[in-house]
Amino acid sequence: MPWETMSVDELAGKLGVDVAEVREKQRLIRKIVEARKGQKYSQAALAKKVGVSQGRIAQIESGIGTARVSFDVLLKVLSVLGLDYKITLKHKAA
């Protein structure tokens, strides 16, 4: 079943990973796909700039192995697309 048809909780449960991590990776992947298409890059052109295969970009975009794709790879792809990733720390509500 493709990741788009599963809930995040289902996907995380199947993979035995942290739900928050999977959610954030899915959010970044959606931004990557949106930016790549908006900039009219093919997967092959983006892959060449990132230094990975076209198949790896397709795998990332499809959500296959979402839990295993590292934030380093996602951040590199975002950077190549001219996007920054900002982490904001805040105190939890009491």
Please report the domains of the chain, with CATH numbers, ordered by start residue.
3-80 (1.10.260)
Is 2 or 76 the better-scoring residue by pLDDT?
Answer: 76
Residue 92 pLDDT grade (very low, low, confident, very high; cuts 50, 70, 90): confident
Query: Of 48-52, 69-73, 85-89, which one has max mean pLDDT?
Result: 48-52
Contacts of residue 85, defined as CB under 8 A and 6 or more positions apart, other chains included, come to 28, 75, 78
Tokens of 40: 């009219």
Residue 1 pLDDT grade (very low, low, confident, very high; cuts 50, 70, 90): low
- The pTM (predicted TM-score) of the whole model is 0.76
Q: What is the DSSP letter of 83?
A: -
Contacts of residue 36, defined as CB under 8 A and 6 or more positions apart, other chains included, come to 43, 46, 61, 81
Contacts of residue 74, defined as CB under 8 A and 6 or more positions apart, other chains included, come to 25, 28, 29, 32, 60
